[in-house]
Amino acid sequence: MRASEMRHKSPEELDTMERDLSEQIFALRLQQVTGQLESASKIRTIKRDLARVLTVANEKKREKGAAEAR
């Protein structure tokens, strides 16, 4: 998912996405250790998606803090 699409989501939806992606990374790492992982590139793409979610969530928190400071 693109960052521009994530910016339209609420903070609660972003938190849910963060939890889901973290769980997926854990499951993929477990598969990798047991030798069941089909494609190692899945871990990389999920990690990038997680980074995007965290970036957008932090941007929203900063915007909210700046708006409250005014």
Q: Are 57 and 14 in contact (CB under 8 A)?
A: yes
**How many domains does the chain divide into?**
1
Alpha helices by DSSP H, 1-70: 3-6, 11-34, 41-69
Instruction: Please report the pLDDT score of residue 55 as a whole number.
Output: 95
Q: Express each pLDDT in 45-62 by its tens digit.
A: 999 999 999 999 999 989
Kindly report, residue by residue over 8-39, the tens digit of the pLDDT: 999 999 999 999 999 999 999 999 999 999 99
pLDDT at 5 exceeding the cut of 90: no
Residue type, 20: D
Q: 42: domain range?
A: 3-69
Give Cα separations from 44 to 59, 61, 62 (angstroms).
Answer: 23, 26, 27
For residue 41, what is the domain's CATH number?
Answer: 1.10.287
